[in-house]
Structure 1
Amino acid sequence: MALEVIKEITNAENRAEELVREANKKSKEIIDSAIKIGEEEYKKVLIRSKQEAEIIINYATEKATKEIEAISIKGNNELNGIKEGLEEEKKYSAVRLIIERIVGIHGNS
């Protein structure tokens, strides 16, 4: 009888050790799974953040490009206006010079 009790205690101890090993194994699997899920979610957040940053950069670049183009067009228009004004001034000066010479020639005679 004492021998049977010792066997049962030994079997119970062995079973308890086996259950602890299984529990440790399951714990490790759960932890590994949680880490993997965490890493996957982290990667998703990084990808999403990168995509959002790219959208913001693209928007800012597009807006800046449009503003630069608008400034360039305005500058070109102003430059063209100045050129036209100078051309008109040249014509006016040439006509005035001709008139002054004509008047000078007739005035001196």
Structure 2
Amino acid sequence: MAKDAIETVKEAEEKAKKILQDAILASKNSKQEAEISAEQEHKRILSDGKAEAEDIKKLAVQEGEAIAKPIIEKGIEAAKALNNLKDEDLDSAVNIIIERIVNANGNS
């Protein structure tokens, strides 16, 4: 009877040892799976973030171009207008400027 009890205890110890080994192995496998899953999620989040940043950048460039376009067009029109001035108009403008400078300094 004592022999049977000792055998039963040994079997229980072996089962417990096997259960512990299986649990350790399952824990290692779970850890590896969690690390792989975390790395995949990290990559996905980075990819999504980069895509979102690129979309925001494109939108900002479009908005900037939309704001700048009328300003550039106005500058081009002003440049064309200056370019199309006749010599008489330029001479008249120069004379007016000279007159104001001379009158302002009192050297008349």
Q: TM-score, normalised by structure 2?
A: 0.71
Identify the residue that residue 101 of structure 1 maps to in structure 2.
Answer: none
> Which range is displaced more, 47-56 or 70-79?
70-79
Task: Give runs of aligned pairs for residues 16-35 of structure 1, distance below 5 A.
Answer: 16-35=16-35
Runs (5+) with no aligned partner, structure 2? 93-108
Runs (5+) with no aligned partner, structure 1? 94-109
1:18-63 deviation digits (Å, cap 9, x = unpaired) = 0011111112222222222222112111110000001111111222
Query: Would you tell me which structure has more helix in proportion to its own residues?
Result: 1
| Larger RCO (alpha carbons 8 Å, 6+ apart) | 2
Q: How far apart are residue 10 of structure 1 and its match?
A: 0.8
Identify the residue that residue 7 of structure 1 maps to in structure 2.
Answer: 7
Instruction: Quote the Cα distance in structure 2 between the aligned partners of 1:63 and 1:15.
Output: 70
Q: TM-score, normalised by structure 1?
A: 0.70
Instruction: Quote the Cα distance in structure 1 between the aligned partners of 2:64 and 2:80.
Output: 24
Q: Kindly report the root-mean-square deviation, in angstroms, between the aligned alpha carbons of the 2 structures.
A: 2.3
Aligned length: 92
Identical-pair percentage: 28
